[in-house]
Amino acid sequence: MLLAGAYFLLPLYAGLKFALQNDAGHFSFFAVKAIPSAQGFSAAFTLSMKLALVTVVLAMLLMVPTTIYVHLRLPRVRRIVEFITILPIVIPPIILIEGVLGSYPGWIKSSPYLLSFLYVVLAMPFVYRSLDAGLGAIDLKTLVEASRSLGGSWAQTLRRVILPNLRPALLSAMVLTLALVLGEYTMASLDLWETVPVWIVNFQQSDGHITVAASMIGLIGTWVLLTLIVSLDRSQSRRSRRKAGTT
C-alpha cells in the first residue's frame, strides 16, 4: 500500500508543488489565479463543458434504456453487450477519429459536437458497467412487475421506481463520462478543436506553471466528485439499513 501510494501521490505532489511556485521558486497562487484570464482558456473551457453536457445526455439516453432492456428481456445477450461495450477500450481513439474524419461529410465534421458522438463511444465501457452494477444490485424484475401490477405505465415505472434506485450508478456513470470528456486529447486535437487538454498542451510553451495548475485542478476536481458519489452511495445504504432495522 505504501509503494502504491507513493507511485500515485508523488507525481501529484510534484505537480502541486510546481503549480504553487512562481518563477523564483517561492510559494505563490499566481498560476491558479491566472488560469481564468489566460489567453484561450475561457473558450476552451466553454467548449469542453458543452461537449461534456451533450455527451452525458446522449450517453444516458442511449445506455440507460438499453441496459434496462437487456436485464429485463434479453439476459442471454448480456455477454455479447459486454463484449461490444468493451471494444472502445481495445480500439485506439486515433483509429476511431481517423476513420470518422475520412468517411463523414464535411458539414458534420465542421461541428465540434461531432466529438460528442465519438465521446459517447469512448464512454460506453464505463457507463455500461456502472449501470450494469447498479441494476445487478436491485431486484429489477420484481420492482417492475410490482409497479406494472399497480397500474404504473412504463414511463412511470422508469421515472419513479427504476431511476431512483439507480441514482448512485447514474451519478457514477455521469462523472466518469465527464472526466473522460474533460481529459480527452487525441480526438479533439486531430479534429482541430481546442478543448481544455488541447489548450494545456498548446499553452504550456507560454507558461508551464499555469498549465500544470490547470491540470491539477481538473484532476483534483474529478477526484472530489467521485468521492462525493461514493459518500452519497454509502450514506444512502446506511439510511436504507436503518429503515429496514426499524421496521
105-156 pLDDT tens trace? 877 888 999 999 999 999 999 999 999 999 988 888 899 999 989 888 888 9
User: Could you tell me if residue 88 is inside a domain?
Assistant: yes
**Do 121 and 96 touch, CB atoms closer than 8 A?**
yes
182-217 pLDDT tens trace? 889 999 999 989 999 999 888 877 777 888 888 888
Q: Which range marks the domain in which residue 209 is found?
A: 28-237
User: Could you tell me if residue 18 is inside a domain?
Assistant: no
Phi-psi region of 152 (alpha: psi -120 to 50; beta: other; left: phi over 0): beta
**Do 73 and 217 touch, CB atoms closer than 8 A?**
no
CATH number of the domain residue 37 falls in: 1.10.3720.10
pTM: 0.84
User: Could you tell me if residue 22 is inside a domain?
Assistant: no
3-state DSSP helix/strand/coil percent for the chain, to nearest 5? 80, 0, 20
User: Could you tell me if residue 23 is inside a domain?
Assistant: no
Helices (H) and strands (E) counted in the chain, each on its own, are 14, 0
Q: How many structural domains compose the chain? A: 1
Query: What is the percent of the chain where pLDDT is above 70?
Result: 93
